[in-house]
Amino acid sequence: MPRVRRTVRIVGIGLTELGKLHTPASALGQQALHKALKSAGLEMSDLDGLIAVPSLSTPRFMEAHSIATEAKLLPSRSVRVRTIDTGGA
């Protein structure tokens, strides 16, 4: 897959079940990631970046890094990860 600098593409969507699942947010994040890759016809090795929003149910510092590490995307110098904080006053 050719690299295009400063371009973001959302190429797949991964939806998990909703409701009282008794499943940790991190496991749902992994499920969503794998489903998004499958819907796009990509492999984990095709990713060069990951953006994540922290879960309010099990907050972790640097959520994207946690997900990327669990998915074995990190450590890697060629993968960029970012956590976007959301919230309100």
Calpha distance 54→25 (Å, rounded): 9
Q: What would the pLDDT profile of 49-70 be if each residue is shown by its tens digit?
A: 888 877 777 667 788 888 888 8
Helix axis angle, 63-70 relative to 25-40, nearest 10°? 70
Question: What is the distance between the alpha carbons of residues 61 and 11, in angstroms, rounded to a whole number?
Answer: 26
- Element holding 40 (H helix, E strand): helix 25-40
Give me the residue label for tokens 């993968």. 79
Distance between the two ends of the chain, CA-based, in angstroms? 41
Band of residue 38 on the pLDDT scale cut at 50, 70, 90: very high
- What local confidence, expressed as pLDDT, does residue 70 receive? 86
Q: Is the pLDDT of residue 4 over 60?
A: no
